[in-house]
Amino acid sequence: MFHPTFESFFIQHYRAMFQRLRIILFLDIDGVLRVRKGPVPQEIVKALRTLAQQHWVRIVPITGAPMHQLPPEILWPHLPLYRAFAESGGVEHLYDGTPKPETTVAGEFQTLISHLEIDPQDGLLHIPALEKTIICEGRRHTSFTAIMGETYPPYPNVVPTAAHHEVEAWLENIIRDHALPFLLLPGHERTYSYIDVVHQHVDKAWRVGTVLGEVPHDLAFYIGDGTGDEAAMARSDIIPVALANSTPRIKRHGKERGFVVEKEGPDGTYEFLTALTDFLQQT
């Protein structure tokens, strides 16, 4: 169950657009399409394929995770995507599987890494300035994520020693002292916390804007749950879809301008996709 219904929402906002709606559907991945870095349920893959093949729906997954963590079951050739992005929009996953980072951001990111005095590798990473460890998700091109806590599903036997507040203060000091154009987006899950370090001009909200500007469309939805999705879902040209596990800010956007699904992802995502498909088949 979610509110409002498609019928009441479209009648209220888009009465004149009922015929052959052109839709762009942005989706976060972790917490939206899958749980704990697991596989995307097949019913969601099938629902997305139906929307892409039978209706004018351009599907655009966009995650804060590195490109190698994009689930293959939602990429080409399994799913006819429009485009796909990793690292909060800073890296595009091309059709042949190669990464396409934003070149200017990639250079500034290397400057950040040199000041942090680290070599980001997949797994446990030692932080010389703290003499403690964090978990790092592989090599990246434009962003950096520090993971702390007791249990992080992709690395079940790895326990970092650094506390969240220590890592956040360290990152804030480096960015401030060297006037680097990066922002911190902290978040918390049940058994771990994380800090996404993203470029202040290249994030999900920026990437959404570039896609919207290149594709003629009538409506654009965004299904998201975390702090990294908030700015994108606050855009006036986006219809936000909040889930039960979304942040309070996202739920507020969904209640005020879009939809609130009363289930956590991926079950709530599947419910929304099914309802959208049913509605489009009736118009």
Average confidence (pLDDT) over 190-214? 94
Q: What percent of the chain has pLDDT over 70?
A: 96
Q: Is the pLDDT score of 11 beyond 70?
A: no
Where does the pLDDT of residue 254 fall: very low under 50, low under 70, confident under 90, or very high at 90 and above?
Answer: very high
pLDDT > 90 fraction of the chain, expressed in percent and rounded: 82
Instruction: Report which of 168, 155, 213, 220 is spatially closest to residue 194, judged by C-alpha positions.
Output: 168
Output the CA angle 218-94-71, nearest 5 degrees.
85
Question: Distances from the Cα of 108 to the Cαs of 23, 127, 141, 246, in angstroms?
Answer: 34, 20, 10, 31
Q: Residue 1: pLDDT band by 50, 70, 90 thresholds?
A: low
Return mean pLDDT, the chain. 93
Paired tokens of 204: 């999900």
Q: What is the pLDDT of residue 17?
A: 53
Alpha-carbon distance of 82 to 48, in angstroms, equals 12
**pLDDT for 137:** 85
Tokens 């990473």: give the residue: 125
Q: What is the pLDDT of residues 214-248, one digit of tens each?
A: 999 999 999 999 999 999 999 999 999 999 999 99
Report the interhelical angle of 267-282 vs 42-54 (nearest 10°): 30
Average pLDDT, stretch 72-76? 95
Which pLDDT score, from 0 to 100, does residue 122 have? 86
pLDDT by residue (tens digit) across 103-157?
A: 989 999 999 999 999 998 889 999 999 999 999 987 899 999 999 998 888 888 8
Instruction: Report pLDDT digits (tens) over 17-66.
Output: 555 799 999 999 999 999 988 999 999 999 999 999 999 999 999 999 99
**Average pLDDT of 180-209?**
93
Question: What is the reported pLDDT for 18?
Answer: 52
The confidence band for 189, taking pLDDT boundaries of 50, 70 and 90, is confident
Please say whether the beta carbons of 165 and 149 come within 8 A: no
Helices (H), the chain: 6-13, 42-54, 103-116, 164-177, 204-214, 227-233, 248-257, 267-282
